[in-house]
Amino acid sequence: MSDLESDFQKLVAEVTTNLRTNNRTLQVQEYGKRPKQKYSFKAPKTFAWVTKKQRLDCLAVGTKLEWADTAGISDYDYKPYSQFNKPGAHWRIPEGDIDSMKNVARYLAQICEARHSD
């Protein structure tokens, strides 16, 4: 297993743990063609996506900007167009950066709650 794959599995485990405290179950669905390796995170509605960026040695994580704002998250990179064709909040998790991964996993759990509260 590559380090990036290992990081992805750790991110899934962290998000799963954070969602479990709110009685939610994470579903991970792969889409797109390799080498893009894209995944959507659902619980049960989609609230984020993750792409393994082999050339950049990182995981790219994104969500809708409005969901991040509703969750009270302000620590993100702004993108005018996201996977949802709306402004997005994005993070890049460098390979092996466990602290960044844990922060993003915590953010994703908060965003999931904000997404499912409507």
Q: Which residue has the tokens 């991110």?
A: 11
What's the pTM? Answer: 0.89
To 5 degrees, how large is the angle CA 4–CA 10–CA 14?
145
Distance from chain centroid for Cα 106: 10
Query: Taking the domains of the chain in order of start, what are their residue ranges?
Result: 3-62+92-116
Q: What mean pLDDT comes out for the span 84-108?
A: 92
Contact assessment for residue 115 and residue 109, using Cβ atoms and an 8 Å cutoff: no
Taking every pair of Cα atoms in the chain, the longest distance, rounded to a whole number of angstroms, is 39
Q: What is the pLDDT of residues 43-80, one digit of tens each?
A: 989 999 999 988 899 999 999 999 999 999 999 999 88
